[in-house]
Structures are given as C-alpha cells and as structure tokens.
Chain A
Amino acid sequence: IAGITQAPTSQILAAGRRMTLRCTQDMRHNAMYWYRQDLGLGLRLIHYSNTAGTTGKGEVPDGYSVSRANTDDFPLTLASAVPSQTSVYFCASRATVSNTEAFFGQGTRLTVV
C-alpha cells in the first residue's frame, strides 16, 4: 500500500541522547516535511526538503537536523535531546509539481526525560 511510514511510533528517550526519527514514502513525492505538534500550538514546521539533496529550515529548526540522500527517505535527528523536544512528530510528503495535497505519516510520540 502506497503511503508514508514513520518509525518508531513512540519512544521514551533520556535527555542528552541522540535520536533519529525515520520517515519513508513510496509515492515518489519530491517535497517532504517534518512538523511537531504541541498542545495549544498546532503543528509547526521544523525542516523541509523540496527535492533530494536539498533541505531547508522551518519555523522551529533549533536542535534538529535532517538529510535527504534520496527521494524516499527524510530522517530527522535530535543530536542531544532536551525535555522541550517532547512532542508528537509528523512527517509529510507532497508532489509539488502536480500540486497534490500532503500525505501525513502516523506520527511519532517522543518523550524526553
């Protein structure tokens, strides 16, 4: 089934540890995004990528990094996790050329303790 997959679905992480959230899509979408969802704040853009090999910063990029080595994968890395990074993280993808709407993954609930 075509779609976008995130892993893990949930994780408890000790502060200071490094963590990579995985995101894979099989729809050949050129654009991919990472959002974080926090109560009362909605979803905010962390990083994005318009095409393989390029990335850019969103609204709340500090403490996060991304890479886009190929079309399908867009991992999000927390180099040294802090409690304020406790959130639900969503990956999304979109085919901007055909102006289709974004597909979202099922989200990763991350708790930093």
Chain B
Amino acid sequence: AQTVTQSQPEMSVQEAETVTLSCTYDTSESDYYLFWYKQPPSRQMILVIRQEAYKQQNATENRFSVNFQKAAKSFSLKISDSQLGDAAMYFCAYRSAGLGTGTASKLTFGTGTRLQVTL
C-alpha cells in the first residue's frame, strides 16, 4: 500500500517571501501521479498542481512549483511571492496511474501542512 508523509504540521511565511512544503511517499509502483491540494477555511479542496511520475520536468503553475525527486520519493511544493490568500491547509496526495479498478483510482493523502502567511 502507498503512504504519503508530510512532516511539517505547520509552516509560516512572510508575505512576498518563498516557502517550501515537504512531502515524501512510499510506493512500489513506477507510474503514478502526485498532487498538492489547498484547503482554505472555506473547506473546499482545490487542486494546486499535479505531477506525472514519468515526466522528469517539474510541474509549475504560476507561483507554485514542485521539486520532484523520483528516486528519493520526494515531492515538495514551493510557493513564491507568498500572498495572504495562500494561507490554508495543504495536502500532498498520491494516485496510481492507469485505469485500475478497485481502490487503484483513489487518492492517498498526507496529514497536511497548515501554512500561515504573515504581513
């Protein structure tokens, strides 16, 4: 079974600064997807960024980028030019690739990192 570990329960960053959230995972599969989800106080789960394991290039979405190290099974999220609206809980998640049945298509989540943004 796959596991996802987020070792930072809370992080804090000043507005306009850069912060990196850590995530490691364990899997025996070679093809999979990794995600970062943002959960603001509204409780809505918002997909921030997605990385396909077969792609060596790190995914980027505006101020959000990842550092994907497949051999180390590490998937960190970097937020540049942090804004007050970035304050939220961030979840790292894993999903098997392909069109598997059973629980193969489910997401496995880490325990989350609460990000505070200060002025």
A96 and B50 form a contact (CB under 8 A)? no
Contact A96-B106, Cβ < 8 Å, known A42-B91, A42-B111: no
A40 and B106: CB pair below 8 A? no
CA separation between A48 and B1, bound complex, in Å?
17
Which of B44, B103, B106 interacts with A104 by CB under 8 Å? B44
Chain B residue numbers with a CB within 8 Å of A97 are: 99
A interface residues, tally (CB under 8 Å):
26
| Contact for B43 among A44, A96, A106, CB less than 8 A | A106
Summarize A's interface: helix, strand, loop or mixed.
strand
CB-CB < 8 A to B4: which residues of A? 42
Contacts between the two chains (Cβ within 8 Å), count: 54
The docked-state distance in angstroms from the alpha carbon of A43 to that of B45 is 11
Question: B68 near A: Cβ within 8 Å?
Answer: no
Render B57-87 as a binary contact track against A, CB cut-off 8 A, 1 for contact.
0000000000000000000000000000000
Interface of B is mostly: loop
Given contacts A42-B91, A42-B111, contact A101 B50 (CB under 8 A): yes
- On chain A, the residues within 8 Å of B35 by CB distance are 101
A8 at interface by CB-CB < 8 Å: no
CB neighbours (8 Å) of A43 from chain B are 91, 107, 109
A45: contacting residue among B50, B101, B103, B111, CB under 8 A: B103
The 0/1 profile, CB within 8 Å of B marked 1, for residues 67-103 of chain A is: 0000000000000000000001010101011010110
For A94, the closest partner residue in chain B by CB is: B105
- Residues of chain B lying within 8 A (CB to CB) of residue A96: 99, 105
Chain A to chain B contacts (Cβ below 8 Å), 22 pairs:
A33-B107, A35-B107, A41-B111, A42-B4, A42-B91, A42-B109, A42-B110, A42-B112, A43-B91, A45-B106, A48-B103, A48-B105, A56-B103, A58-B106, A88-B43, A90-B45, A97-B99, A101-B47, A104-B44, A106-B44, A107-B43, A107-B45
B→A interface (CB under 8 Å): 4, 6, 9, 35, 42-45, 47, 50, 91, 99, 101-103, 105-107, 109-112
